Chain A
Amino acid sequence: MAVQASALVGAPVNDAPGLLGLSGFGFNRAQSITFLVMLLLVVAGPFFLYPVLLMKLLCFALFACAFNLLIGYVGLLSFGHAMFFGTGGYLAAHAAKVWGLTPELAILVGTAFGAALGAVAGWIAIRRQGIYFAMITLALAQMVYFFYLQAPFTGGEDGIQRVPRGALFGLIDLRADMALYWVVAVIFLAGFLFISRVVHSPFGQVLKAIRENEPRAISLGYRVDDYKLLAFTLSAALAALAGSAKAIVFGIATLTDVYWTMSGEVVLMTLLGGLGTVFGPVAGAAVIVLMQNQLAELGAWVTVIQGIIFVVCVLLFRAGIMGELGRLLKVRL
């Protein structure tokens, strides 16, 4: 019946229900198929590509998905999401190295601190909208950056190095890349499905209503700031989860992950892949990470190429990879 409805506005979209119980995550048929393809790629990937590169890709993909939850479904452009990504990294690295926690607990610590920081930063930032919101998040992220630069436990410019990967639950040794790969793959898939669930939950429905018509939502008695804050905190926690996993993968936590350029990179990934699409952030992260890897020998030129891609994307492919693909195939992706 939803097909019928869309047909009236002249943009026929095939919205057939999802497969294999994936409609519980709000997936239509096209999204279910795309998910299965993605699942296949995640499982088969490490047999064709270097697992560490893929783990990096999955961490950034989750980071971009977390960012997309906020911009794509609440309409809030955070320009400081590196503070959560980096916080996850620092805290997970510290927990694993200094406190000697097992990797899953270290990642949990990183995620929890990211969520707490998200609650505080969100509480300050959501009072403003548009460019002011973006500027406040940027300013807060810079404060967090200088905190990590000065704080004694972070190692300043050197960062936290030689973080042990440890053993999962104290049982499964993760020093082998393939062993760790499956852990990261599960984290990514769980995070991805969690975000889809949030978007298609009763809470997600309220978020959608707020984005569509905020004054009307208020007039129905919704305290809209509470919903924005919860969405912001969830997004921050997931970004921190991604950062935590990355720190465990590479065994380091550095200022790079908390610097403002990292906030910019996640914006680029999401825009390139397709803002507000389910799979766009993953596609955007894949393109950027693989490109950085391929072009690594070009040094600083990578940044120039990224800039050109950004400009081309904004000028010609406003909807991003998945947005344009979806338009072509007349499905939502």
Chain B
Amino acid sequence: MDTILATEDLTKEFLGFTAVSGVSLNVRRGSIHGLIGPNGAGKTTCFNLLTKFLQPTRGSIRFDGRDITGMKPAEVARLGLVRSFQISAVFPHLTVLENVRVALQRARGRSFDFWRSDKVLGQYDARARALLEDVGLHTHAHLLAGELPYGRKRALEIATTLALDPVMMLLDEPTAGMTHEDVDRIVALVRRVAQGRTVLMVEHNLRVVEGLCDTITVLTRGRVLAEGDYAGVSRNPEVVAAYLGTDPAISGAQAHG
């Protein structure tokens, strides 16, 4: 098995509170890996550790054969491990097109050119439009990103991330707070962009997880409770116990699965 991202004994303590405790995670190259668990299980902390927005108290992280434990977040992104955020991360006062262009600019250069007119960024327009078309936003290119409806912001975020052509994408709750219609669109989008990449996603909507993820890791109280495919994990009595009462969806899934 070809592992692209591996953590060993990953631990994060905040002033006596252990948010993530001894997590050893292995993400297979080319897979869509789901990270689920009740609220406060440490999923987002885990994401922040993996992308170096937080420094782990203990443990190590390897990405694509390289130890990234001591790296800075921007360096990790440059290696091709690019994250999204739980609260939609767009640049609200930039247009939709400019949002994508900012990412292209980083990947392709010119980001320090202070003496040139920003009209030279027009050279990235064609690529930016193609990426927007990919996520169905090409007709919105000239709107300010802050004016997009929520679901479209998530799509824009994915287009911006794709502009970097990342090896691996980390998506933090890509369908949170979305209408059914938007959820379906994002699921289709994630499945499409996952071609040739690895995706690790935190997701609350278990129907999405069931439909998308090859492997699922269940976290509770900062620890790995179970790991496997959806069918296996959802039959695990410990998982059911952890979820029961907090999220009826999994017990429902358990009943018909």
Residues of A within 8 A of B (CB): 1-2, 4-6, 8-9, 24-26, 197-198, 200-206, 208-209, 212-213, 215-224, 226-227, 230, 234
Contact = CB atoms under 8 A, between A and B. Distances in A.
Contacts of B142: 1-2, 4-5
A219 B113 contact: no
A68 B73 CA distance: 29
Contact of B113 (A2, A202, A209, A224): A202
Contacts of A223: 72, 74
Tell me which of B89, B91, B112 has the highest count of chain A C-beta atoms within 10 A of its own C-beta. B91
Tell me which of B103, B106, B114, B142 has the highest count of chain A C-beta atoms within 10 A of its own C-beta. B114
21 contacts: A2-B95, A5-B142, A6-B144, A8-B144, A9-B144, A24-B119, A197-B116, A200-B117, A201-B114, A201-B115, A205-B105, A206-B105, A209-B94, A213-B91, A218-B73, A218-B74, A220-B77, A220-B106, A220-B164, A221-B74, A227-B111
Contacts of B110: 202
Given A2-B142, A206-B105, A226-B112, 4 more contacts: A202-B113, A203-B112, A216-B90, A221-B106
A8 B102 contact: no
Contact of A202 (B77, B82, B107, B120): B120
A8 B147 contact: yes
Contacts of B83: 219
A206 B102 CA distance: 7
Interface of B: 51, 53, 72-75, 77-78, 82-85, 89-95, 98, 101-103, 105-107, 110-121, 142-144, 146-147, 160-161, 164
A5 B94 contact: no
Contacts of A4: 142-143
Contact of B118 (A2, A202, A209): A202
Contacts of A200: 117-118
A1 B147 CA distance: 14
Contacts of B91: 208-209, 212-213, 216
Contacts of A212: 91-94
A203 B144 CA distance: 20
A198 B98 CA distance: 17
A204 B114 contact: yes
A198 B112 CA distance: 10
Contact of B94 (A24, A197, A201, A208): A208
A5 B74 contact: no
Tell me which of A6, A204, A224 has the highest count of chain B C-beta atoms within 10 A of its own C-beta. A204
